[in-house]
Amino acid sequence: MTQTTTDQLPGRTASTAAAPPVPEPGAGGHRRARGGIVPVLAFSGIVVAVMQTLLVPVIKDLPVLLNTAPSNATWVMTATLLAGAVSTPIMGRLGDLYGKRRMLLTSLAIMVVGSLICGVTSDLIVMIVGRALQGFAMGAIPLGIGIMRDELPRERLGSAMGLMSSSIGVGGGLALPAAALVAQHADWHALFFGAAGLGVLSILLTLLVVPETSVRAVGRFDVAGALGLSAGLVALLLPITKGSDWGWSSPTTLGLFGIAALILVLWGVMELRIRDPLVDLRTTARREVLLTNLASITVGVAFYAISLVLPQLLQLPKSTGYGLGQSMVTAGLCVAPLGLTMMFVAPLYARIAARRGPKVSLLLGMLVIGIGYGAGIGLMSAPWQTVIIAVVVGAGIGLAYSSLPALIIGAVDPSETGAANGLNTLMRSIGTSVSSAVIGMVLAHMSQSMGPVTVPTMAGFRVAFLIAAAAVLVGVVLASFLPSQRKVSRPTLVAQSTEDVGAVPEGERRQASSTPAPAAPAPTAVAENAAATPADVDPVAGPLAQGRAAGFRGRVRYASGAPVAGASVTLIDRQGRQAGITTAGPDGSYAVAAPTAGSYLLTAAAPG
């Protein structure tokens, strides 16, 4: 039996040394609390969204409230954005290494501290510090998705991830009118105390209901990589968010873009050379991961555009000739269906993804977003029309956002779930930053004077919608190149083998403790007169490398002995959940870690 050598194995695998065997459902252990995991994790996502939306109703009043210039007041929003972008991939990697639940609690605790700081100050610098600490809560989204992957059975995972992904829109939609109501009838600092209370409640629920997962990545935290990525992201996002204030051709803006490019290139070279990188760039470069992340940027652009346009349109006075003259609270209620619709389409996403795959639901979602923005160009003359826009765009964003983590999870090892989803969340944040900068610049240039103030024109609002529609169409093009989950014209042959793997002493090599099940007759799928070619999976159970996790290694080969290059090798546990996934190399070799000791089904699939 041909075996691979240890230098052919992946650099990061799931840790099993200290992990107990996976208990059967209902047999005891933490899996008895499984039913409450989804609502509690979704609530943590809603808390994150509330924190982000908190100051939207009082943005225009911040210079007066903080006794500073408008250009300085914008740092209160920018600080949260930068901290969230920097912390998301870092918290995801820390979750993979040291426990996702632990890092989720840490993120929420830092947010509570930041909220309390903001609640007791009106000083600009202290407020910026508090808002930066609030931004650390952004890591809760990818960490929650990672916990769901580790703990939920496959049949519940789709709808659960959809709800978690859309929770950021749900929280934003619900928080906008609530925050407006508080801002109108109470001191604005009450907003922060309310956010702190929600954070404490989320921490308590997480402690009571959510278990710590046993899936771990092996390795050390990449401190240099974290510092490099942080510096690169700050240098990139600062000119994006402040370019309209500094001038897009100013030396500061151009210099920061150049510094960002230099830092990120050097960071990428370093990440490719070290053993335990913060972000596995080789995995990120896979077609399905890369295209999903690029599509995430376009969805982020589309998501933020409607939040910039509709509240302003609704609150502009009717004397402008196109403003709808609504109060702050009414404007929030008109936009609220955006988030509520995102929540309601999560079950629909699960059905579509189960039948057609997440690629189809992503494409469908982005097409719905494009239709919503296209129709919205002509539906801006009454409040009820803005509600229709919010519902349609919200439905599309809900489908798209729900699809993104499923595509990422299907392409990475379980031990990299947190980091990979953290990077995907970062891509969405970059999209919202680009949307804020570009659409903000458009509305500023396409404006008119109304007495002492300058307001955007109707033409500016329409151009903003056109930009959002164009961005999402770019996303459709990118997503169309994603590999399909199901191929009708090209049959997929799956060769299966059942093996048992136990805890293996360090450095020991041994054969599997049970004999592979007799192979079933090869499928006879035929397409256009081309019959599928028989293939064989050649597994060996044992340690994958010195000091690494136990798992399976071997080769995928045709019956003739020729290797099957690029085959997708999947490890499935006794509950039917995906426990590991990898891609066979050019010689058909693969290595996949097992999260715990036990029996597994090993499958390999390749087109044709």
Cβ contacts of 20-27, under 8 Å, gap ≥ 24: 20/214, 20/596, 21/596, 21/597, 21/598, 22/214, 22/573, 22/574, 22/575, 22/595, 22/596, 22/598, 24/574, 24/575, 25/153, 25/575
In the chain, what percentage of residues exceed pLDDT 70?
80
Most confidently modeled of 91-95, 133-137, 202-206?
Answer: 202-206
Strand, helix or coil for residue 579: strand
Please state, as a whole number, how many other Cβ atoms lie within 10 Å of the Cβ of residue 95.
Answer: 31
The mean pLDDT of 28-45, rounded to a whole number, is 68
Residue 555 predicted with pLDDT over 80:
yes
Cβ atoms of residues 419 and 286 within 8 Å: no
Report the chain's mean pLDDT, rounded to a whole number. 76
Residue 278 predicted with pLDDT over 60:
yes
**Local structure of residue 19 (DSSP, 8 states):** P
Q: Indicate the Cα dihedral angle 457, 459, 462, 466, nearest 10°.
A: -130
Token pair in block for residue 316:
């502009």
* pLDDT value at residue 324: 85
The mean pLDDT of 560-571, rounded to a whole number, is 80
Residue 11 predicted with pLDDT over 60:
no
* pLDDT value at residue 586: 80
Range with the lowest mean pLDDT among 91-95, 389-393, 505-509, 535-539?
505-509
Rounded Cα distance, 436 and 237, in Å: 11
* pLDDT value at residue 509: 32
Q: Which residue has the higher pLDDT, 18 or 239?
A: 239
CATH code reported for the domain at 277-321+334-486: 1.20.1250.20
Q: For the chain, give every residue range classified as CATH 1.20.1250.20.
A: 28-221, 277-321+334-486
pLDDT tens digits, one per residue of 576-602: 667 778 888 888 888 888 877 777 788
Most confidently modeled of 118-127, 305-314, 532-541?
Answer: 118-127
* pLDDT value at residue 579: 77
Please state, as a whole number, how many other Cβ atoms lie within 10 Å of the Cβ of residue 527.
Answer: 13
End-to-end CA distance of the chain: 25
The mean pLDDT of 345-355, rounded to a whole number, is 76
Residue 306 predicted with pLDDT over 50:
yes
Cβ atoms of residues 318 and 505 within 8 Å: no
* pLDDT value at residue 35: 62
**115 Cβ partners below 8 Å, 6+ apart?**
51, 130, 134, 192, 193, 195, 196, 199
CATH code reported for the domain at 28-221: 1.20.1250.20
Q: How confident is the model at residue 204 (pLDDT cuts 50, 70, 90)?
A: very high
Rounded Cα distance, 520 and 503, in Å: 29
**From start to end of 502-593, where are the E strands?**
526-527, 530-531, 535-543, 550-558, 568-572, 578-583, 589-593
Range with the lowest mean pLDDT among 265-274, 344-353, 356-365, 486-495?
486-495
In the chain, what percentage of residues exceed pLDDT 90?
16
Residue 154 predicted with pLDDT over 50:
yes
pLDDT tens digits, one per residue of 210-269: 888 777 777 788 888 889 988 988 888 888 878 777 888 899 999 999 999 999 999 989
* pLDDT value at residue 539: 66
Token pair in block for residue 248:
């897009």
Rounded Cα distance, 583 and 592, in Å: 9
* pLDDT value at residue 319: 82
Q: Indicate the Cα dihedral angle 110, 115, 121, 127, nearest 10°.
A: 70
Pick the closest to residue 356 from 158, 559, 602, 69 (CA basis).
158
The mean pLDDT of 57-77, rounded to a whole number, is 80
Please state, as a whole number, how many other Cβ atoms lie within 10 Å of the Cβ of residue 487.
Answer: 12
Rounded Cα distance, 408 and 463, in Å: 32
* pLDDT value at residue 269: 92
**599 Cβ partners below 8 Å, 6+ apart?**
498, 499, 500, 501, 514, 574
The mean pLDDT of 456-473, rounded to a whole number, is 90
* pLDDT value at residue 60: 73
The mean pLDDT of 530-535, rounded to a whole number, is 41
Q: Which helix (H) or strand (E) holds 339?
A: helix 337-344
Cβ atoms of residues 364 and 348 within 8 Å: no
The mean pLDDT of 102-113, rounded to a whole number, is 93
Instruction: Please give the single-letter amino acid code of residue 404.
Output: L
